[in-house]
Structure 1
Amino acid sequence: NNSLLYKNLVKPRKAAQASMYSSNSELSGEIMVQVIPFTGQTLADAKKLVEDSFKEFEASGVSDEDLARFKGSAESQFINTLSSVSGKVSLLAMAQTVTGNPNQIQKRLEAIQSVTKEDIIRVYNQYVKGKSAVILSALPKGKNVQPLSSDNYSASNAGYKAPDYGYNGLKYVKAKDNFNRTIMPGAGPNPSIKVPAYWKSTTPNGVKMIGTANNEIPSVAISVSVKGGGLLAAKDPSKAGLADLVAELLNDNTQKYTAEQFSAELQKLGSSISATAGEDEIVFQVSALKKNIDKTLALLQERIFHSNFSEDALERIKKQTIEYLKNSKNQPAPVAAAVYSKILYGKDNVRTIATVGTEQTVANLTLADAKVFYNTNFSPSLTSVVVVGDITEAEAKSKLAFLNTWADKKITITPPAPGKSFYKTRLYLVDIPKAAQSEVWAGYLTNLNYDALGEYYRLGIMNYPLGAAFNSRININLREDKGWTYGARSAFSSGKFGGTFTASASVKASATDSSVVEIVKELKNYSQNGISPEEVIFTKASIGQSDARRYETNAQKAAFLSRILEYDLAPDFAEKQNQILNGISKNEIDVLAKKYIDLNKMIILVVGDRERVLPGLQKLGYEVVILDADGNVKQ
């Protein structure tokens, strides 16, 4: 948030978003500028501001600090790419393809550090300044918003000559070996997942800590989680959205730095610090290279304890949030997520809007509300810290010692109200006029909490061939066999306050009613007839093999340790999960399917073009209830 586009478009509240990026491949690349203006700003206004920003760049040039920010960010991003097997393979394969030598890591790092200010200006002049561009105006349906200009471009092959790729005269030479390519290679035995050695500690003021050392790359990831989040809106539902607002304010100005200065410091270090709000927590996520961890944690301390909530930032964030909420009502996917929650939990249940809020609740939030929330609800006894990477326990405790002086306060978090139960399948429809695709969701509240070794874990195994694997029944049916969707799925999801089972897909509008029929058919068949012996074998092998790559990166390890801390899991829980996976029988899975894939408990939600999809849905035999985008019943 220290770019010229941010300064000239976002900060003065003329656009919700403004960004520029490049994507480069072996044969070509793309440079794109994307702007989402606020209501009242025309696309012509936005284009003028972008052009003015280019002129400002040409006049001001590249500063030493600009260059330092680029180098710090690029170095960190490149190093962190090496944290996973897929990242390593991608870099090695690309280097081999482009240069003929896979070992280019050190050269890439040297290339980053060798970039000069003159290089940047040269590239700008060569690829951006004065260059022609394809300009796309994406307009909201049903609104009187004018495109930047009328269409004036159509693709033409006139004068095109296909390049010579060097294929002429080549002769295919079949490989000579004893490998039988008609037989798919079998997978090896499932790896035994061992939880890495980790340490746990609690500070005198109640901060819970957990960590593990890993020096494969010189990088550190830290998360600081403060319980509460959106659920705190249960105390006063009129303040729904306050948790998200406070998190965004925590990402803005501090007492020592403006938001732009803070971002610049992080970029020079190649570090990141971000605060996000969830239903039951606000989390600070930190990533830093080992060599810059001290300076990064000094910035984290500034962000947590010395933020400077301002009226200007408040109004900008409120405007962005309200614009996001308005735009979401024109898109089937976010409408489906919001309305599905309101159907299951009840429209008046605050947990359906607690974290982000509504247009009305966000508009009424004040700076005083934000300060009261922060001063009242942040406490060390509600805080947990996860530390992963190239850092020892002693180093972590020493560098995070600033948390030890945090004064504790007792805070009560009210559990959310329970949701609704259904005893007959009912179909709900939300109208998004002219939508090219429909969202189809089916599910119910399971009332099951997360359990690493109990029935909840076993439900994940049961659901895998139904809707979790790529070749699951639901995905094969709707995507591979019918071609109606890019992906269809089902999942059980639970935390500490119950959970859901949901099957869902984004499908082309003409197949909406048929998709409902096929999803219901797959759910009913699995519930009644259970899993096949072949699916049992596949599920055990697939889950067992994929587990080996679920804890590679620092972020993955941090999420794993966070779960151990959150649910007080034993060190050997992953081994016990592996035992459950290997030992579960077809009969056990069939019993779970019959018990939990119960269509009588489920509702079906369709979000799409009412005029186009309603006639087909009415023929399916369900009671059809028409809702608006806020979940209110319509006639």
Structure 2
Amino acid sequence: MKKYILFILTLVFISEISLAQLDRSQLPKPGKAREIQIGNYKSFTLKNGLKVFVVENHKLPRVSFNLVLDRGPISEGDKAGYLSMVGQMMRRGTTSRTKAQIDEEIDFIGASLGAGSSSVFGSSLTKHTETLLDLMTDILYNPTFPQEELDKIKTQTLSGLASQKDDPDAISGNVSTVLLFGKDHPYGELETEETVGNITIEDIRNYYQNYYKPNIAYLAIVGDINFKNAQKLVQKYFGKWEKGDVSKKQWDKPQAPSNTKVALVDRSASVQSVIDITYPVELKPGSEDAIKTSVLNQILGGGGSARLFMNLREDKGYTYGAYSSLSSDRLIGSFSAGASVRNEVTDSSIVEIIYELNKIRDEKASQEELDLAINSIAGSFARSLEQPQTIANFAINTARYNLSKDYYANYIKNVQAVTLEDVQTMAKKYIKPENAHIVVVGKGSEIADKLKAFGELKYYDIYGEEYTPKTGADLPADLTADKVIANYIKAIGGKSKLESVKNLQTVSEASLQGQTMTITTANSAPDKAYVSVVFGGVMEVQKVVFDGNSLGNWTQGQRAPEDAEKTKDAAVEYAMFAELLYKEHNVKRELTGVENIDGKEAYAIELTYPSGSKVLNHYSVESGLKIRQTSTVQGPQGEITQAVDITDYKEVDGILIPHTMKIPIGPGMKIDANIKSIDINKGVDESLFKID
């Protein structure tokens, strides 16, 4: 199965940028903060309770409308994910327009129109304002929620979730979310394939009917419009919107752990560990501490000049980047600090992160660090003002969070007023590594013992469910890697049946960016192999040929020099049924334990090929079938771990053959390669195996 990974790297396009030599030992000198002018707003309220804010800006002939619902957290329960679909469904058709008609009308006037579970946003040229408002209020008042559109959204969502199962950053986010807030809290609920499958049209419709009410809504209008005209338009288009009662539920505030907890998600094929040190914090938006903590975080981990980055990347070389965040929320915020690092420096990286957390709490920062942080925040704030929606959000936030009317007008001045004493005070109040969850997604066999030094270690699956791992020592004494492999051979047809196959040819197809990827494989006993990957029916992007002695590898028609180490592995790597050849070709087999693969137990067997390269195979405990193969390949920027999921076994001439390979092509992305044709013992063109 490893042969299905070979074409992945041909899908990655690299652009290199030459950078001037920088003296990274010196921090950039801070410049003078820019003066910011923010437009004042006028406001009024309709009889139905809709609160409206108008910010006039006549520099460009554009106007934007941003409608936001002010509601509390909502528990989605066993239907987690439906809130993310509400806005999409509102945009997918009304009583008077189909999705295609809405898209066409928006494109015709060069406008934009979007919706979410608690917002509707539209923007257009001033001359098209009424056309935009007609469309905007049509999706607001008259959504039909077509079943076929929900089916499409659910299919897309499930595809994304499938890709995230093998994305260590997504896994880290899942586990951190559960540990921070708990699965019974709205902030701690996870979207899964099961919860998405439970979502119905009624869930979408009920939410819309219960929460889309003007009396909990704010409307911000920004751009080329005067206040008087805005009043007329809002009354015309939003005045008929009927108000209603909206229920609110009180939620408990999640608490930080009383002492440090270590959570490990064991991914046995990982060459890197994703580290996240996190805990909940009580920090309200617009509070007295909010601006001060933003300066604190900027110094600690807010960018490429911050302490975590300079320590873990520039000084230690452990990672490409290390960052932190300190977020505010009306109910509960959170702190997070972390990085992706090599397995062998996982514990050292945690030590350095904790060191920096303690240091910023125990010692004052330097004036240079403070100046740099202040100017960075000021610059980001200034750039954000280029977007009309930013000004709209400022107006809405001022009302939602009961901020002073000049909060944003004085924002830069208040940032500049932060002192070194303020930073240390905030650090002592909010930086608490001794009350944190240390979440690590990585290879347990290499890092687990070292992680125990930081606190109580527990294992979690990719959805944040705690479990007790089974190692080789926990398995029956007579269970070996060879027995698991023998069970697999028996499950797919038996040794004698597999050995009766003299030639085998398959054609698989996958869809990528609207184009068809065709993967053709051919094998001829005892050890000849051929693999071809053709993109768009025209361009052969990859070809591999093994004639039993030599290995040829072509990328876009160019043959690479033969790699002697890869040639050592070729007879097994590209074999029809590799498991039959492990002993003959001196492939070492080690049963490392039982792992959780998509909620099912699977035996993990680590293979070491003659060249020394390693492959990890997972065999279902229940069926004996191979369900995943993980390899480490050399990518443009270093080693890449690729896990191919093996599914949809079907019988062909008495042999179970997997008909679908879920192949990763990038972070969080997978494609399905489905077998379209398969021929067993029907003859193969021997010319395919000629290299010269």
TM range (shorter): 0.5 to 0.7
Q: Residues 197 and 152 of structure 1: is their aligned pair in 2 closer, same or farther, counting only changes over 3 Å?
A: closer
Q: Would the aligned equivalents of 2:214 and 2:243 in 1 still touch at CA under 8 Å?
A: yes
Measured in 1, the distance between the counterparts of 2:5 and 2:446 equals 30
Aligned-residue identity in percent:
28
- Secondary structure of 1:504 counterpart: strand
Are 1:474 and 2:308 matched, yes or no? Answer: yes
- Secondary structure of 1:490 counterpart: strand
Q: Would the aligned equivalents of 2:133 and 2:237 in 1 still touch at CA under 8 Å?
A: no
1:518, distance to aligned residue in structure 2 (A): 1.5
Q: Residues 244 and 546 of structure 1: is their aligned pair in 2 closer, same or farther, counting only changes over 3 Å?
A: closer
1:324, distance to aligned residue in structure 2 (A): 2.2
Are 1:595 and 2:429 matched, yes or no? Answer: yes
Are 1:387 and 2:229 matched, yes or no? Answer: no
Structure whose residues are more often helix by fraction: 1
Q: Residues 524 and 208 of structure 1: is their aligned pair in 2 closer, same or farther, counting only changes over 3 Å?
A: same
Q: Residues 459 and 217 of structure 1: is their aligned pair in 2 closer, same or farther, counting only changes over 3 Å?
A: same
Q: Within 5 Å, which residues of 2 pair with 1:2-401? A: 147=4, 189-228=32-71, 231-233=73-75, 237-277=77-117, 282-353=118-189, 357-400=191-234, 401=236
Task: For residues 55-95 of structure 1, give each alpha carbon's deviation from its aligned partner in whole angstroms, at most 9, with x where no partner exists.
Answer: xxxxxxxxxxxxxxxxxxxxxxxxxxxxxxxxxxxxxxxxx
Structure whose residues are more often strand by fraction: 2
- List structure 1 runs of 4+ shifted beyond 6 angstroms: 148-155, 183-186
Q: Within 5 Å, which residues of 2 pair with 1:477-516? A: 477-516=311-350
1:615, distance to aligned residue in structure 2 (A): 4.3
Measured in 1, the distance between the counterparts of 2:279 and 2:104 equals 46
- State the aligned residue count: 454
Q: Tell me the equivalent position of 2:291.
A: 457
1:560 corresponds to which of 370, 373, 394 = 394
Measured in 2, the distance between the counterparts of 1:340 and 1:150 equals 34
- Secondary structure of 1:312 counterpart: helix
Q: Tell me the equivalent position of 2:569.
A: none
1:145, distance to aligned residue in structure 2 (A): 10
Q: Tell me the equivalent position of 1:626.
A: 459
Ranges in structure 2 where 5+ consecutive residues have no aligned partner = 13-25, 469-692
Measured in 1, the distance between the counterparts of 2:192 and 2:354 equals 32
Q: Would the aligned equivalents of 2:291 and 2:415 in 1 still touch at CA under 8 Å?
A: no
Letter in 2 for 1:244: S
Measured in 1, the distance between the counterparts of 2:195 and 2:250 equals 21
Task: For residues 579-598 of structure 1, give each alpha carbon's deviation from its aligned partner in whole angstroms, at most 9, with x where no partner exists.
Answer: 44333332232222122212
Letter in 1 for 2:88: E
TM-score, normalising length from structure 2?
Answer: 0.61
Q: Would the aligned equivalents of 1:335 and 1:629 in 2 still touch at CA under 8 Å?
A: yes
1:472, distance to aligned residue in structure 2 (A): 0.5
Q: Tell me the equivalent position of 2:405.
A: 571
1:287, distance to aligned residue in structure 2 (A): 2.0
Q: Which moved more, 1:258-267 or 1:393-402?
A: 393-402
Letter in 1 for 2:458: V
Task: For residues 505-563 of structure 1, give each alpha carbon's deviation from its aligned partner in whole angstroms, at most 9, with x where no partner exists.
Answer: 23344433222121111111111123123323333344345433331221322232232
2:270 corresponds to which of 411, 432, 435 = 435
Q: Residues 570 and 261 of structure 1: is their aligned pair in 2 closer, same or farther, counting only changes over 3 Å?
A: same
Q: Would the aligned equivalents of 1:220 and 1:293 in 2 still touch at CA under 8 Å?
A: yes
Task: For residues 283-329 of structure 1, give each alpha carbon's deviation from its aligned partner in whole angstroms, at most 9, with x where no partner exists.
Answer: 11212122322212211111111111122122222222233223222
Greater Rg by CA: 2
Measured in 1, the distance between the counterparts of 2:10 and 2:50 equals 60
Q: Residues 263 and 575 of structure 1: is their aligned pair in 2 closer, same or farther, counting only changes over 3 Å?
A: closer
Q: Would the aligned equivalents of 1:474 and 1:519 in 2 still touch at CA under 8 Å?
A: yes
Q: Residues 211 and 419 of structure 1: is their aligned pair in 2 closer, same or farther, counting only changes over 3 Å?
A: same
Measured in 2, the distance between the counterparts of 1:362 and 1:267 equals 31
- Secondary structure of 1:384 counterpart: strand
Task: For residues 412-450 of structure 1, give each alpha carbon's deviation from its aligned partner in whole angstroms, at most 9, with x where no partner exists.
Answer: 221333213212112111123423443211121112221
Measured in 1, the distance between the counterparts of 2:241 and 2:378 equals 43
Ranges in structure 1 where 5+ consecutive residues have no aligned partner = 1-143, 156-182
TM-score, normalising length from structure 1?
Answer: 0.66
2:281 corresponds to which of 421, 426, 446 = 446
Letter in 2 for 1:516: I
Letter in 2 for 1:274: G
RMSD: 2.8
Q: Would the aligned equivalents of 2:43 and 2:53 in 1 still touch at CA under 8 Å?
A: yes
Measured in 2, the distance between the counterparts of 1:370 and 1:151 equals 38
Measured in 2, the distance between the counterparts of 1:560 and 1:251 equals 25
Q: Tell me the equivalent position of 1:61.
A: none
1:185, distance to aligned residue in structure 2 (A): 9.7
- Secondary structure of 1:244 counterpart: helix
Q: Would the aligned equivalents of 2:30 and 2:371 in 1 still touch at CA under 8 Å?
A: no
Measured in 1, the distance between the counterparts of 2:7 and 2:172 equals 33
Task: For residues 581-633 of structure 1, give each alpha carbon's deviation from its aligned partner in whole angstroms, at most 9, with x where no partner exists.
Answer: 33333223222212221211211111233344334434x44322110011111
Q: Would the aligned equivalents of 1:442 and 1:503 in 2 still touch at CA under 8 Å?
A: yes
Q: Within 5 Å, which residues of 2 pair with 1:413-424? A: 413-424=248-259
Q: Residues 185 and 631 of structure 1: is their aligned pair in 2 closer, same or farther, counting only changes over 3 Å?
A: closer
